[in-house]
Structure 1
Amino acid sequence: MNRSNGDCHDRSITAGADFLHLAVDEVPRRGKSDWLAGQIRLALADSRLPVGSRLPATRVLAGELGVSRGVVTEAYQRLIEDGHLAGQGRNGTIVVGAPVATPTATEPPRPTAPPSPGAVFAATPGAAVFDAMRMVRARIDLSPGLPDLAAFPRAAWLRTERRVLDHLAASDLGYGDPRGTPALRLAIANWIARNRGIRADPDEVLIVAGTAQTLTLLGRVLYDDGISAVAVEDPGSLGARQHLHNCRLDTPPVAVDSEGLRVDELRATGEAAVLLTPAHQFPTGVVLRGSRRAELMRWARETGGLIIEDDYDAEHRYDRSPVPALRSVLADHVVYAGSVSKLLAPALRIGWVIAPPKYRDALVDAKRFTDLGNAALPQLVLAGFMESGALERQLRHLRRHHRRRRDAMIEALGTHLPGATVHGAAAGLHLTVTFEAGFADTHLAAEALARDVKVHPLSWHSQRPRRPGLVLGYAASTPADIRRGVATLGDVLRHLS
């Protein structure tokens, strides 16, 4: 009996949460919230708590650790403010991001950036360099192209998914139309009519795996049609050029100024097709103005030219009115491409393309022979999500959310980079800064990366020489990280000047 009582006594000393194997006797007498937040950060960094993990309820963990519930609540709140956790109401607290691992006395330091970041930026920015940069982990990532992934509406998405599965017919699990499910094509047609002024029949909509696949499929179709080049904006998206090059298409540059694409330069190239981002030019953020739009339409009608309209983030705007899509006024000469990558998350890999009749069947054939069509279940969930009004609600939330982060970046730039010129801050998920200085922006980006801050040099997205600059994404970073990242850029710039 005594031995049994002793066993119970031993267990009470070492008892604690199964969660991270924390024990009561490990809890310090002071700084309990700091200690608990630190233990969770370590678990995030070494992947014991992967993204998507659900943390114990505050009441449960507090009871197991023998501390007040306020201790656990405060620790969780700190990690929520840092962007590592997200409170999901009744669904608990979820891991949405992990910090870079902190070396310990028993663990050798692990590099969080390439051994020589300068080599990455000094190399010609081809596909290998771009892919290498995607793999580089940095404590603060200000790369453009992402919305706030932590804001993904998990609960609303899950409710929609359950409704879809509850009403799913067995036949819906078979091979479907390579153009996409009828439900999603209808939802897209309704969405672009409401939000972009485009009238399209659902039969005209082709569902693809994002705008990247649109460029690949269209590139093949244009090449087979005898087109050897697609003119592009300069500066313009490096990734888009890479997809076109992969289809053996040249990408002659056309200058962009404060009014948008220089249509006179487009005419001078003699090319039959052009890719542009008229509602929010990437990366400068300028809008294609009325006179340029009219001039571009004249070019298309007079030459039979094709306009590829990448409408990648037109819904995100803060300080200006919406800009009509080119497709809404010139349907027979415009291939319109959109996606939910900037509205929800790139991970969904769902986009859409609407092409003139000349290319429509060829694009459907290209899609069929590529993959037989996108996965049907995510399409049906997205269709229900859009038609229920949930996507509009999410967009309204993101506009407020992203605007606060945009404002934090502009404030930080004014403090730490007062000599920089800011471009394109009225809309989108990124802005561009340029400098009147004699240094290479790739050098600035490399030095920043060595300090755990990742950015895009403007020269990566330029085919012709121009002033040094950076393309800075703000939507996917917390205001605190934005301020720290921009402060680091300012410190690096002072050493370069």
Structure 2
Amino acid sequence: MSRIRTSSGELLIELQRSGGAPLHQQLESGIRARIREGLLRAGAVMPSTRSFADDLGLSRGVVVEAYQQLVAEGYLVSRGGGYTEVAEVAAIAASEVGLVPDGEPRIDFRYSRPDVSQFPRTAWLRSVRRVLNETPYRSLAYLDGRGTIELRTALADYLNRVRGTAARPEHMLICNGFAQGSRLLLKVLAGLGYRCLAVEDPSDDDLRRAAADAGLTAVGVPVLEGGVDVEALDRSGADVVLVTAAHQFPTGAVTSAETRAALVAWAARRDGLVIEDDYDAEFRYDREPVGAIQGLMPDRVAYAGTASKTLAPGLRLGWMILPPRLVQPMSDAKLMDDRGSPVLDQLTFADFVARGEFDRHLRRMRPRYRLLRDTLMERLALRVPELVPMGISAGLHVMTLLPEGLTEAAVKAAALERGLGVYGLAQYWVTPPGPGGLVFGYGGLTVSSVIEGVDLLAEALAAARSASAQA
């Protein structure tokens, strides 16, 4: 895809040199306004700081300061090679709202959206080139159902080091994201005689549907402050349980050491299986890292991870660490399902991980997401203090409960009228009705859109209260 390029003399910014705001702030405001008005589109390459300063008659430091601020806000992105461009997520401007399909929000707090504008294209391209240049032709033939040994080895080394797993390459399987891996696993488990899946209550409802398709009964188990209620799990009669232990979705609870030990003890006692969905554990802000349950009892835990939150959902790259008894049936199921995930994608990711690029990308993204998290917390406290965030120490989302007198439906409708997408808890309760609340995903937003979004939410809450009072 061709890139839009600008150069000095092509970007007009008017500056008030006497009696106005500081020049760097004027420059920031001028660029920000052009982006929001759609006059600078996503991917447009900005003038170099030196040429832009010469063109405007400014010191280079003024332009550098303006660019740095706009990068921090998410309007601009610094790229390898020394150039700066307009960020993808900053390109929906007020004048472009009409281009958004009817009913879709302009600012969207939808969960599960990382900042794909930060995908490390340069580093990924280096890995692509190495793979194309160095991969022997025999590697392009039909695959082992578990995936390439190169990726399984690279991921085992990474996960053992960073997540505290006890992974061995021969016990790993590469899949097209958690959706495929979990679907295949539930079918395999049903075929092996497992009958009842316990899920956290609340939790994402996708796996409940997959369980029904596989012929398993799904039951909900309450989530406590320290994770899933293991005593309730024991009473449920389930022989499989799915947990999001490092950062429970959607409450954000972190499973305590006591609960982790109780879970593996339950699995051994019940001859059961724990499925550990480790979907966003790499992003933590205010706490020490928590190791994976899989490392405590590899024979009783099936661990699942994905690149969807860390790199990009469109890669469709996921992985599982399986108990030895499940490796062959899962490999057979994977081959039957799609003959294996694309080999060049696997080898590229293997090179990317093995050369440390994955670690570097995560280190770069953590402060960006923390800034968005902090901005969301501060703005909620300022504009809607009645919404108290929960589960803020990690991940790409937070949850709040709604005060009495407000319903999720009323708040969502009032928000959508203002071009804002907010999402309730109702769909996540296994045993409804649970308390009303909202889940805020912030990974794919910018600082400015988070601020504007919370301001719109404050208006929506006021409107919902007014409508409720008049009813």
State the TM-score bracket (shorter-chain normalisation). Answer: 0.7 to 0.9
**In the alignment, is the contact (CA less than 8 A) between 2:48 and 2:83 conserved in 1?**
no
Rg (Cα) greater in structure:
1
When normalised by structure 2's length, the TM-score is: 0.84
Q: Distance in 1 between matches of 2:375 and 2:13?
A: 36
Q: Distance in 2 between matches of 1:192 and 1:425?
A: 24
1:365 equivalent in structure 2: 332
Deviation at 1:232, TM superposition (A): 0.5
**1:187-223 CA deviation, whole Å, 9 max, x = no partner?**
0110111011112221111001111111111122122
1:469 equivalent in structure 2: 437
Sort the Cα spacing of 1:320 and 1:160 in 2 relative to 1 into closer, same or farther, 3 A.
same
Where do 1:158-177 residues align within 5 Å?
158-177=125-144
2:456 equivalent in structure 1: 488
The one-letter code of the counterpart of 1:110 is G
The one-letter code of the counterpart of 2:381 is G
Sort the Cα spacing of 1:84 and 1:173 in 2 relative to 1 into closer, same or farther, 3 A.
farther
Q: Secondary structure at the match of 1:252?
A: strand
Q: Distance in 1 between matches of 2:326 and 2:406?
A: 45
Among residues 421, 424, 436, which one is paired with 2:388 in the alignment? 421
Deviation at 1:82, TM superposition (A): 5.6
Where do 1:263-412 residues align within 5 Å?
263-412=230-379
Q: Distance in 1 between matches of 2:400 and 2:246?
A: 19
**Which residues of structure 2 form unaligned runs of 5+?**
17-25, 466-471
**In the alignment, is the contact (CA less than 8 A) between 2:37 and 2:95 conserved in 1?**
no
**In the alignment, is the contact (CA less than 8 A) between 2:414 and 2:461 conserved in 1?**
no
1:188 equivalent in structure 2: 155
Where do 1:147-158 residues align within 5 Å?
147-158=114-125
When normalised by structure 1's length, the TM-score is: 0.80
Q: Quick one: percent identity of the two aligned structures? A: 37
1:90 equivalent in structure 2: 81
2:92 equivalent in structure 1: 100
Give yes or no for the alignment of 1:211 onto 2:211. Answer: no
Sort the Cα spacing of 1:391 and 1:220 in 2 relative to 1 into closer, same or farther, 3 A.
same
Sort the Cα spacing of 1:363 and 1:25 in 2 relative to 1 into closer, same or farther, 3 A.
closer
**Which residues of structure 1 form unaligned runs of 5+?**
1-17, 116-135
Where do 1:9-20 residues align within 5 Å?
none
Q: Secondary structure at the match of 1:256?
A: strand
1:232 equivalent in structure 2: 199
Q: Distance in 1 between matches of 2:163 and 2:195?
A: 31
**In the alignment, is the contact (CA less than 8 A) between 2:414 and 2:463 conserved in 1?**
no
Q: Secondary structure at the match of 1:380?
A: helix
**In the alignment, is the contact (CA less than 8 A) between 2:304 and 2:320 conserved in 1?**
yes
Sort the Cα spacing of 1:40 and 1:186 in 2 relative to 1 into closer, same or farther, 3 A.
same
Sort the Cα spacing of 1:292 and 1:78 in 2 relative to 1 into closer, same or farther, 3 A.
closer
Deviation at 1:461, TM superposition (A): 1.3
Instruction: Give the CA RMSD over aligned residues.
Output: 3.3
**In the alignment, is the contact (CA less than 8 A) between 2:110 and 2:421 conserved in 1?**
yes
Q: Distance in 2 between matches of 1:345 and 1:79?
A: 23
**1:264-304 CA deviation, whole Å, 9 max, x = no partner?**
21122211111111111111111112222222222111110
1:198 equivalent in structure 2: 165
For these two proteins, the number of residue pairs brought into alignment is 449
Q: Distance in 1 between matches of 2:318 and 2:420?
A: 30
